[in-house]
Amino acid sequence: MYALAIETSCDETAVAVLQFGENGLPVVSAELVASQSEVHRDYGGVVPELASREHLRNLPLLLDEVFRKSGIGVQNLALIGVTRGPGLKGCLLIGLGMAQGLSLAWNVPLVGVNHIEGHLYSALLSNPQLEFPFLALVISGGHTEIHEVHGIGSYKLVARTIDDAAGEAFDKSAHLLGFLYPGGPALAELADQTGRSRFKLPRVMRESEGFSFSGLKTAISQLVRDQKANLGDGQLRGELAFAAQEAIVDALLFKLRQAVKRSGISTVTVSGGVSANRFLRAKLAAEKGMNVCFPEFRHCVDNAAMIGLVAVERFRRGERIAAGAGVLSRWPVDSMQPPCAP
């Protein structure tokens, strides 16, 4: 049996075809992503209207291509899985509208998937030995949260950001240092090349339950303003980048250690674009008492394979999206329930 998965919650249009049986993990037959970062670069962030238009243009092309690449036809499909939320409303509507249309036209059942639930499961795609319960840290441009994962639809929120996401903290710091959006990877590269800093940024909100990066952003902008006259000095700019990266990574590690200690769960998965950060990966590898597991890079960032994985799991347990159901641009994953029949 095969599942078609569609993801359009933010600025990546993604599709995948997965093969699955009665039990066991599905296997990805083909997957494609069309990234829009070029489209949004000049605006310094994702422009929702432009993102929707790109999805509308790219999704039909990707769908044709993923059928061609996987070698299957509509007659082989047992289900369609689509991201229903959370995300940008207009973007979600393009994906859900397309999926609802195809489901009706082809008479194939449809399952609506929570995007964050996809991230929580993404490490399973390349680590099938992963066992419940585990802690999942999701760090991207839009999300920063830790959950205990006990099984499908069974999550306990441990910490979530109360303001900026970790990726936003990277991108805003990078912007202050003159990098184009999304500047996180470029800032990280400069920081890694520099390897040290004379500056030490404050570590904020350590004792509270949630993550917070807004204080850090203020501190970095203050520091950059103080050093404005010296920003032409490559070494100094590198040290500012290092200080920013170190402060963001420290905040993530602090909460993660706290979560491991409080929950007694030592297996941790890390996903979302920021999980590509090498400094963070090196620190995590050196952590004692933590068994850290990453998805493959293409499954760390937004992708449709993770949406297909969750859709298959929920489909097997009888879940279908109600006819005429709308998108859920706000949909906390910890409010989800185990799968249920319609």
Give me the residues that bind ligand KG4 (CB under 6 A), please: 10, 140-142, 167, 170-171, 182, 184-185, 188, 272-274, 276-277, 301-302
Task: Pick one of Zn ion, ligand KG4, none as the site partner of residue 85 (Cβ within 5 to 8 A by kind).
Answer: none
Name which of 297, 334, 310 is nearest 160 in CA terms: 334
Task: Pick one of ligand KG4, Zn ion, none as the site partner of residue 5 (Cβ within 5 to 8 A by kind).
Answer: none
Asked if 84 contacts 90 with a C-beta cutoff of 8 angstroms, the reply is no
Rank residues 28 and 280 by Cβ distance to ligand KG4 and give the closer one.
280
Nearest position to Zn ion, beta carbon: 302
Rounded CA separation 118/234 (Å): 40
Rank residues 168 and 313 by Cβ distance to ligand KG4 and give the closer one.
168
CB of 142 to ligand KG4, least distance (A): 5
Task: Pick one of ligand KG4, Zn ion, none as the site partner of residue 144 (Cβ within 5 to 8 A by kind).
Answer: none
Q: Which residue has the tokens 């760090």?
A: 139
Q: Rule CB under 5 A: choose which of 145, 171, 302, 319 binds Zn ion.
A: 302
Q: Is 13 among the residues that bind Zn ion (CB under 5 A)?
A: no
Q: Is 29 among the residues that bind Zn ion (CB under 5 A)?
A: no
Rank residues 170 and 315 by Cβ distance to ligand KG4 and give the closer one.
170
Contact stretch for Zn ion (CB under 5 A) within 14-22, 65-73, 191-199, 296-304: 296-304
DSSP string computed for 126-144: T-TT--SSEEEEEESSS-E
Name which of 32, 82, 95 is nearest 314 in CA terms: 82
Say which DSSP state 334 is in.
G
Strands (E), 217-306: 267-271, 291-293
Rank residues 95 and 167 by Cβ distance to ligand KG4 and give the closer one.
167
Strand 291-293, strand 267-271: pairing = parallel
Rounded CA separation 55/92 (Å): 9
Count of residues near Zn ion by CB under 5 A: 2
Task: Pick one of ligand KG4, Zn ion, none as the site partner of residue 276 (Cβ within 5 to 8 A by kind).
Answer: ligand KG4
Interactions with Zn ion, residue window 136-155 (CB under 5 A): 140
Cα dist from 291 to 51, 84, 136, 188, 271, whole Å = 37, 32, 12, 24, 14
CB of 280 to ligand KG4, least distance (A): 7
Rounded CA separation 117/113 (Å): 7
Point out which residues bind Zn ion (CB under 5 A): 140, 302
